[in-house]
Amino acid sequence: MDRKLLVQGIAKFLIGVVLLGALLFIPAGTLAWPQGWRLMAILFVPMLIVGVIMILKNPELLRKRLNAKEKQEEQKDVLKYSGLMFLAAFILAGLNFRFRWIVLPDWISWVAVAIFLISYGLYAEVMKENAYLSRTVEVQEGQQVVDTGLYGIVRHPMYMSTLFLFLAMPLVLGSLISFLIMLLYILIIAKRIRNEEQVLEEGLQGYAEYKQKVKYKVIPFIW
């Protein structure tokens, strides 16, 4: 087992737990926020399980997923916009709970939990299908076009899963305001996909033909 990778993974996991907890519960002004703990549980428990499986079965993929240093200038902007979106959405969700601006019924939170978990299952399946999956936009040595499974339905199943994951999160927290902010993710991934497809078409053999074969980018029959 790669000890350096293990330490890196544990460190990033713990930083994520502390950071999200701070962004949620400090604005909420209390730890007695069931929806906040609900989101923490469905986000970090599956993440921990997937991380353990990856470090045991596919440490190289985990290493790629932990690498978030973009080389493309356009993608660096995408990361900045995404970070601002998450900051605003989580902080406002906490404030919404604290000041009771718009209170959604609790059943909406539980429906969103189901959507989140299904989307996380899709996320895990994408990682299983594509050994070249990276958090950065790049063409890797020896990379080949994956056109089976979910990749035979849409060209970017990872973005399909993250779209539903991210839109479910503010609803788990019961915040309509944060949900409206998270809709900006559609514009953000549209910008990322445009640049990513240009990089792949220029550097990955067979990608242009793949685009002709699989017409939809993110959601079948819609986008």
Arithmetic mean of pLDDT over the chain: 88
pLDDT of 136 above 60: no
Q: Per-residue b/e over 148-169, b at no fewer than 16 CB within 10 Å?
A: eebbeebbbbbbbbbbbbbbbb
Asked if the structure places residue 219 within a domain, the reply is: no
Residue 218 domain-assigned (yes or no)? no
The 10s digit of each residue's pLDDT in 8-38 is: 888 989 999 999 999 999 999 999 999 999 9
Whether 52 maps to a domain, the answer reads yes
Contacts of 72 (CB under 8 A, 6+ apart): 136, 137, 195, 199
**If you average pLDDT over residues 30-49, what whole number do you get?**
96
Range of lowest pLDDT (57-66, 109-118, 210-219): 57-66
Q: Does a structural domain hold residue 56?
A: yes
* pLDDT value at 55 more than 90: no
pLDDT-derived band at 5 (thresholds 50, 70, 90) equals: confident
Is residue 81 a part of any domain in this protein? yes
Q: What sign for the dihedral angle of Cα 168, 181, 221, 122?
A: negative
Per-residue pLDDT tens digits for 207-222: 889 899 999 999 998 9
Is residue 172 situated within a structural domain? yes
Report the pLDDT value the prediction gives residue 134, as an integer from 0 to 100.
Answer: 58
Rounded to whole angstroms, the Cα distance separating 60 from 134 reads 10
Structural domain includes residue 80 = yes
Q: Is the pTM of this model over 0.85?
A: yes
Residue 220 belongs to a domain? no
Q: Which domain holds residue 50?
A: 3-135+143-213
If you average pLDDT over residues 58-68, what whole number do you get?
70
**In CATH, what number is assigned to the domain containing residue 165?**
1.20.120.1630
Give per-residue pLDDT as tens, 154-202. Answer: 999 999 999 999 999 999 999 999 999 999 999 999 988 988 888 888 8
Give the chain as a 3 state SS string: CCHHHHHHHHHHHHHHHHHHHHHHHHHHCCCCCHHHHHHHHHHHHHHHHHHHHHHHHCHHHHHHHHCCCCCCHHHHHHHHHHHHHHHHHHHHHHHHHHHCCCCCCHHHHHHHHHHHHHHHHHHHHHHHHCCCCCCCCCCCCCCCCCCCHHHHCCCCHHHHHHHHHHHHHHHHCCCHHHHHHHCHHHHHHHHHHHHHHHHHHHHCCCHHHHHHHCCCCCCCCCC
Confidence of residue 57 (pLDDT cuts 50, 70, 90): confident
- Per-residue pLDDT for 133 more than 90? no
Confidence of residue 71 (pLDDT cuts 50, 70, 90): low
Q: What does the alpha-carbon distance between residue 171 and residue 69 come to, in Å, rounded to a whole number?
A: 30
Predicted pLDDT of residue 74: 59
Q: What pLDDT does residue 167 have?
A: 97
Our count of domains for the chain comes to 1
